[in-house]
Structure 1
Amino acid sequence: MKKLFILFLGISTFVNAQKKDITLEDIWKKGTFRAEYMNSLNSMNGDYYSLLNYANGSSSVDKYSYKTLEKVNTIVDSKDFEDIKYFESYTFNNDETKLILGVDFKPIFRHSFLGTFYTYDIATKSTQLIGKDIQRPTFSPDSKKVAFAKDNNLFVTDFTTNTTYQITKDGKKNEIINGITDWVYEEEFAFVRAFEWSKDSKHIAFLRFDESKVKTFSMDVYGTGKYPTQEVFKYPKAGEDNAIVTLHMFTLSNKNTRKVDVGEYEYIPRINWTKDNHTLSVRTLNRHQNDLKLFFVDSNSLEKTLILNETDKAYVDVTDDLTFLNDNSFIWTSEKDGYNHIYHYNKSGKLINQITKGNWEVTSYYGFDANKKTIYYQSVENGSINRGVYSISLKGKKKKLLSNASGNNRASFSKNRHFFINTFSDANTPPVYTLRNNKGNILKTIKDNANLKELISNYNLSKKEFSTIKINGYDLNMYTIKPSNFDSSKKYPVLMYQYSGPGSQSVSNRWNGSNDYWHQMLAQNGYIIVCVDGRGTGLKGRDFKKLTYMNLVKLETEDQIAVAKEFAKKPYVDADKIGIWGWSFGGHMSTNSLLKGNDVFSAAIAVAPVTTWRFYDTIYTERYMRTPEENPAGYDDNSPINYPELLKGNYMLIHGTGDDNVHAQNAMRMAEALIQANKQFEWGMYPDKNHGIYGGNTRLHLYNKMTNFIYKNLGKKDKKQVHKIKG
């Protein structure tokens, strides 16, 4: 019996040895494990959708049927234009008789860009230039006009008179912005276009940003020339002045602009017209972001009415879930009962009913079918690491699961909600796209990535094992990846990975991202990979998420240190070789963990880390910390630039010099603190690279650098030893 066991073990190990090993070139150069994805589709009127397709150096906007998934016709093709090689964007008017086509995009920040835009009439196949180097052109609901931004001002082109006129004239770089958000709104409130047409096309509501008192941040751009240039922009850091944001109403009939009074506030994070032609909804927030008000504003009188007021001891989240029904009642999502759920209010702001309930979170709201009086949404009610797609009646009854119960499911619904494309994956299954009806029945499998699944089977991959771990009184979600030939009688180094930001999730039952393949590569070289979502992360309710309020990184760091100490006790872990790494918030966490957990961590990598929240922007930082003046200890007690002398292990610090989000200032100040404490460390600065640190061979170089650091400081198993056949 003993001989049979040894023989089986030997054969098993031999089989593992015959499988291919993942290389960094596979991940970052060859794209070996790239899954097939569906292009982002645009739902059209009726049972149709459109796609922007690229082929042979040109592009086309093509129309497809949801019922058959077959192409119905080509709406427009760039080959029909002499001066346009390919389209980079397209948007329809309401009745889908015209499009706005965008070309020649020039990025501004991470989400904003300038471009050249044309209108295209489908029936006549004629085009008209809207403008060059403009932003966010948008059809009026009656399709007779287009509004757009240029040089920080708003314009309207009227097709009936073939004229263009300015709405605003005071726009000026780094001083006044009209109709487009500033840097911090774009990044933290996640929108760029700050103007909205009324339903009757008679008014445009827009935001005006006066950022003249906001302090300027500058970055050297090294480029390829003899002298560097500078990128100069307004960036409000924690505790500093924000732009003064005001709401304005432009009336097209008399070309008159009026300022709208919506009381006292610091931020206007959303404006949306209701179903009523004359009623604009406006959301305001105080600076602490714990007092959100929803107003209705009459476009004629500018009279405001407070409809809803949500407060929280910590903060209130801003979402895009607000949906107005035909009677101007509205659907709203809120954490007020302790979990994010869907609510229905009448047009006066009186609660009609809470639609979803339970100790679980609604994670996406997909929309409302007025004919069926049915809401579609995504939630984690089958476990916080899973996502399911559901339908439920407006009264909160007849709930139905429309997707797989486990894994990660997300839906893209047709405009009339008759169909949706479900994207499913789990830790063992690459993305599978299926067409389903609104009852959840699978009508057709579109893509299943079977080729990728077969290819993956030829590689030396390990299973991602999900579990929970009891840390500091809480059951925390965790996954581990062990070497495929794991032997509990041996000792292995451990590399921990985390992000840990408020409301985030790293432990999720979904298919691999690029970091997962890198972790698999490390596992095949003898590492155990561990990832734990600590206190403050998401999808476990409001109270769990907001435990870290006023003390970002404190509890999160304590949790990662405690996890490391638990693993250090395991007989198969080399307690002297436990490392941690992370990016952005996770880089702050890995730095803090190495310093404050210097008795358990021996190495850490921090990529693009925040090193003090005093350097980060107002909206994000103050949401969780309030201002430095109000909460100095919260800012300083967990900022690693204040205790560099705690460094004992091996530390690598990496940043892009062109990071407009988490500025390289963070890395420079951390480096200087370590230098003055006479602490040795390794680092890498990537010229002109932004927060993502990519482009050309950049990612390959970065991951080579990190891999070498890990092997040098945590060790690398001898391949012959790892694959040695026993017996």
Structure 2
Amino acid sequence: MDYPELAARTRRFSYGAPRAVTVTQDGARVVFLRSSGPEDPSDALWVYDVAARTERRLADPATLLQEDQTDLPPAERALRERLRLSAGGIGSFALDGAGVIAVFPLGGRLFRADLATGDVAELPTVGPVVDPRPDPTGRRIAYVTGGALHVIEPDGTDALLAGEDGVTWGMAEFIAAEEFHRFRGYWWSPDGHSILAARVDESRVPRWHLHDPSMPEQPPTTVAYPHAGSTNAKVTLHVLDLDGGWVDVHWDRETYPYLVAATWSESGGPLLTVLRRLQQHGLVIAVDPRTGETQVHAELADPRWVEPVPGTPAHLNDGRVLVGGELAHDGYDARCLFADGSLITPPNLYVRRVAGRFDGDLVVEASEGEPSEQHIFRIPVTHSSAQAQRLSTEPGWHLAQAAGRTLVIGSQTLEHNGWRYHIHHNDEVIGEISSLAADPPYAPRPALERVTDRRLPTGVLYPRGHVSGRRLPVLVSIYGGPGHQEVVAARARWQEKQWWADTGFAVVSIDNRGTPGVTPSFDKAIHRRFSDVILADQVDALQALADKHPDLDLERVAIRGWSFGGWLSALGVLRRPDVYHCAVVGAPVTDWSLYDTAYTERYLGLPADAPEVYAHNSLVELAAEPPVRPDDARPMLLVHGLVDDNVVAAHTLRLSAALLASGRPHSMIPLTGATHMAAGGLAEKLLRLELDFIRRAVG
């Protein structure tokens, strides 16, 4: 079976692989999701017992549902879209503080699993369930249904805790989930007697209407979409006691409207991170849950934008507050962790996430000089100087989860297929979470190197069996936007690119300035100048690679990308037709005033304040200009899902109209029923159509 078919059937070799790996607070168990095999899309709930060193399946969706119930509540479907989750079955779970109880939604129904006994029971609810969570004591379970927050008492009583017409309680708004990766909207108190809940009022947010023309009998779906320059949702926080008490949380919401993160642990009261609208200043604040009054613990500031570290803020065991930020003085250019203002990570680390605690120390994911690799570090918090012990050994990309004296390290490398999860306990490797995923049919071997005076990360992949001296057309496979890297030392990232290479291309990927992993100044060089910096880096790096790899034929260059990469692909052929000869443009943002507030304004400012910046980065305005010469009209293949609620299909439709008006050649594939993920094997089924288009365009 060829790669596109195999990749579609196995969801790019992810079915059967463990995911959502979580260590219980005492370190006694590791809980995770995994399907039964390489072609099974339905994830089940599994638990690994650290003492017994055995794993067992706790909850099988096929057994629990006993019938085909694949429909999800709209709120659950939206949450999975924000999480980029295409697997079926159990999408997520939540644990109590002792790590004995797990709860999860399935088909809109609520289930409770006892991790010790293996008993699983369905609990009655008043409506379809979204984001259920047990309280830390394991006695009660909260959940959201119909935009209202409910609590199930130990005797089974279902109580409405908060709900009102026209607003939602306990759910993250679109901006929080899509741009700040805050996917939840309520937090239990450590004693299980109250909940810190978000109230979201979207009444002033613009309404957009999404409709798939292939289903004219269906009414359009109306979504609240805060596009750049428009009104955001109004988000407030409240401490709700189960006995009916209510306390409003007070902070300057007019100045700091974005609630980016919230935590509530046994070590202290609630901690929040809030940001101004343009995200150049933020506060880490502590909440007194008795009064709702707040106290500022730290300020976050940057003339470009603030980038909080996931996993912060948090209380350390000694009461200090852990905050992520940047060190940008005395010659340093680093992304670090601070405890009450004191640096606790070495400035040579680019800290990406706090992954938990291991025997009192912090466990963090960070890069150390090489952005294509991510490693796991143990950070002591009792020493006066910043120290770090690297725990991952192989070159590659590593993730971690830690609690108690148990640490799980997940690894992808260029030497092995897929994710491998090793379980460490008391500084000893005691087991591995097995993967049931299929192995890809080949092992790609990209050449990774840094080029130009900016040391841009790049990768080049040749056809298997390539003979040096044979000139090859070039396919630039890119993303290029903030928050994502293409050049990663993990085999899975290069599987599809190897298929492209084997069809006769030298495949090139370049991480320009603006992508993470190098330094904060590298990340933020794109501020207010997306197109100029990013495209210049791409062109310069491609030329530098051709100097090192003489088999790259720069007279035949195609460029291909999705989402931000789709925008960059179109930008390349429109601005630099001398470099790029055709483009596959997938789900692009073509007019930044149509994209969401938090993302767009972070990088480009407010449309009313900087209309020239928006115009300069607009594909629609660029495409409307007729080509200077006929040869400059490079062909494009536009692809877009018609029910995409993130980058709406209007982006591609407006680009197509501008291209048509200026006489520029292009084709378009509308994906009926598809969202921004283009899930269900659609992306793989497109590969041959894209290949045919590129071959005809570059020869």
- Contact between 2:53 and 2:430, CA under 8 Å: does it hold in 1? no
Aligned to 1:243: 233
The aligned residue for residue 94 of structure 2 is: 91
Indicate the larger mover: 478-487 or 301-310.
Answer: 478-487
Contact 2:17 2:34 (8 Å CA) reproduced: no
Q: Residue 550 of structure 1: CA displacement?
A: 1.1
1:211-269, CA deviations, whole angstroms, 9 ceiling, x for partnerless residues? Answer: 11111011113465x6232110100000011112222222333x133332212322122
Out of 488, 510, 518, the position equivalent to 1:540 is 518
Question: What's 1:393 paired with?
Answer: 380
1:474 corresponds, among 446, 454, 472, to 454
C-alpha distance in structure 1 between counterparts of 2:250 and 2:568, whole Å: 42
Relative distance call for 1:331 and 1:620 in structure 2 (3 A) is same
Give the partner amino acid of 1:269: V
* Partner deviation per Cα, 1:401-434 (whole Å, 9 max, x = no partner): 2221422222233x31x23333333223324635
1:681 and 1:639 map into 2 onto residues whose CA distance is 18
Does residue 673 (structure 1) correspond to residue 658 (structure 2)? The answer is yes
Name the structure 1 match of 2:555.
576
Q: Does 1:37 align with 2:17?
A: yes
Shift of 1:558: 1.6
How far is the alpha carbon of 1:561 from its aligned partner? Answer: 2.5
Matched residue, 1:591: 570
Please give the alpha-carbon distance, in whole angstroms, between the structure 2 residues aligned to 1:571 and 1:80.
58
Q: 8 Å contact 1:119–1:129 — kept in the other structure?
A: no
Partner SS, residue 708 of structure 1: helix
Residue 659 of structure 1 is matched in structure 2 by 644
- 1:505 equivalent in structure 2: 485
Match of 2:287 among 281, 291, 297: 297
Q: Is the 8 A contact 1:384 1:539 kept in 2?
A: yes
CA contact (8 A) 2:256 2:282 kept: no
The separation in 2 between residues aligned to 1:674 and 1:221, in whole angstroms, is 23
Cα drift, residue 590 of structure 1: 0.7
Task: Decide whether aligned partners of structure 1 residues 64 and 280 sit closer, same or farther in structure 2, where only a CA change above 3 A counts.
Answer: closer
Report SS of the residue matched to 1:509. coil
2:196 counterpart of 1:196: no
State the SS of the aligned residue for 2:690. Answer: helix
- Relative distance call for 1:194 and 1:452 in structure 2 (3 A) is closer
| Deviation for aligned residue 1:437 | 3.2
Equivalent position amino acid for 1:220 in 2: H
Instruction: Map Cα deviations across residues 252-297 of structure 1 (whole Å, 9 max, x no partner).
Output: 33x13333221232212222224366x3222221111111112222
Q: Distance in 2 between matches of 1:81 and 1:561?
A: 54
8 Å contact 2:346–2:388 — kept in the other structure? no
Aligned to 2:158: 164
Sort the Cα spacing of 1:317 and 1:257 in 2 relative to 1 into closer, same or farther, 3 A: same
Query: Partner of 2:338 in structure 1?
Result: 343
From the superposition, tell whether residues 439 and 527 of structure 1 become closer, same or farther in structure 2 (CA, over 3 Å): farther
2:536 matched residue in structure 1: 558
CA drift at 1:311? 0.9
Deviations along 1:532-575, one digit per CA (max 9) or x if unpaired, are 11111111111111000012232101222233445667753433
Task: Judge conservation of contact 1:378–1:390 (CA < 8 Å) in 2.
Answer: yes
Query: Would you say 1:355 and 2:344 are equivalent positions?
Result: yes
Change (3 A) 1:204 1:183: same
d(CA) in 2 for partners of 1:422, 1:702: 34
Secondary structure at the aligned position of 2:601 is classed as helix
Superposed displacement of residue 301, structure 1: 2.3
Q: Could you tell me which amino acid in structure 2 is paired with residue 266 of structure 1? A: P
- The change in CA–CA distance for 1:438 and 1:332 in structure 2 (over 3 A counts) is farther
Q: Distance in 1 between matches of 2:57 and 2:657?
A: 59
Q: 1:449 to 1:138 in 2, by over 3 A?
A: closer
Residue type of the alignment partner of 1:467? E
Aligned-pair distance for 1:132?
Answer: 2.9
Instruction: Tell whether 2:367 aligns with 1:380.
Output: yes
Task: State the one-letter code of the partner of 1:148.
Answer: Y
Per-residue deviation at 1:658?
Answer: 0.8
How many angstroms apart in 2 are the aligned matches of 1:685 and 1:481? 30
Counterpart mapping for 1:296-695 below 5 A:
296-318=286-308, 319-337=310-328, 338-345=333-340, 351=341, 353-369=342-358, 372-381=359-368, 383-394=370-381, 395=383, 396=385, 399-413=388-402, 415-416=403-404, 418-431=405-418, 433=420, 435-437=422-424, 441-444=428-431, 447=434, 452=439, 456=442, 463-470=445-452, 473-513=453-493, 516-566=494-544, 571-644=550-623, 645-646=626-627, 648-695=633-680
Change (3 A) 1:563 1:425: same
Provide the aligned C-alpha RMSD in A.
3.1
> Which residue number in structure 2 is paired with residue 722 of structure 1?
none
Q: Structure 2 CA distance, aligned partners of 1:30 and 1:282?
A: 40
Match of 2:150 among 144, 147, 155: 155
Q: Deviations over 1:430-469 (max 9, x none)?
A: 246353536765445665999948x53xxxx663111121
Residue 139 (structure 2) pairs with residue 144 (structure 1): yes
SS of 1:310's equivalent in the other structure is strand
Which structure would you say has the larger Rg?
A: 1
Q: Distance in 2 between matches of 1:556 and 1:310?
A: 26
Q: CA deviation at 1:48?
A: 2.3
Question: SS of the residue aligned with 2:491?
Answer: coil
Cα deviation, 1:647-695, whole Å, max 9, x if unaligned, reads: 5212111111111111111101100101111222112111121112132
Q: CA deviation at 1:118?
A: 3.7
Q: Is the 8 Å Cα contact of residues 436 and 442 (structure 1) preserved in structure 2? A: yes
- Worse overlay, 638-647 or 703-712: 638-647
C-alpha separation between the residues in 1 aligned to 2:120 and 2:437? 41
Judging changes above 3 Å, is the alpha-carbon distance between structure 1 residues 637 and 50 closer, same or farther for their aligned structure 2 residues? closer
Question: CA contact under 8 A between 1:551 and 1:635: conserved in structure 2?
Answer: no
Contact 2:334/2:520, CA 8 A, preserved across alignment: yes
Aligned AA for 1:128?
A: L
Query: Is the aligned partner of 1:116 residue 2:109?
Result: yes
**Matched residue of 1:41: which SS?**
strand
Matching residue's letter, 1:583: W
Q: Which SS does the other structure have where 2:492 is aligned?
A: coil
Q: Which amino acid aligns with 1:666?
A: H
Cα distance in 1 for partners of 2:271, 2:46 equals: 35
Letter in 1 for 2:29: Y
TM-score (norm 2): 0.86
Instruction: Encode CA deviations 1:130-178: one digit per residue, 9 max, x unaligned.
Output: 3431322222233333222222222223225x43332334232xxx222
3-state SS of paired residue (1:520): helix
Which shifted more, 280-289 or 668-677? Answer: 280-289
Mind listing any 5+ residue stretches in structure 1 that lack a counterpart? 1-20, 105-114, 346-350, 716-727
Structure 1 window deviating more from structure 2 (684-693 vs 311-320): it is: 311-320
Distance 2:208 2:518 in 1: 37
Matches of 2:363 and 2:226 in 1, distance apart?
Answer: 38
Asked if 1:48 corresponds to 2:35, the answer is no
Task: Sort the Cα spacing of 1:303 and 1:702 in 2 relative to 1 into closer, same or farther, 3 A.
Answer: same
User: 1:510 deviation in Å?
Assistant: 0.9
Cα pair 1:242 1:618 within 8 Å, conserved:
yes
Gaps of 5+ in 2: 70-88
User: In structure 2, what residue type is equivalent to 1:132?
Assistant: G
Larger mean CA deviation between 500-509 and 430-439 belongs to 430-439
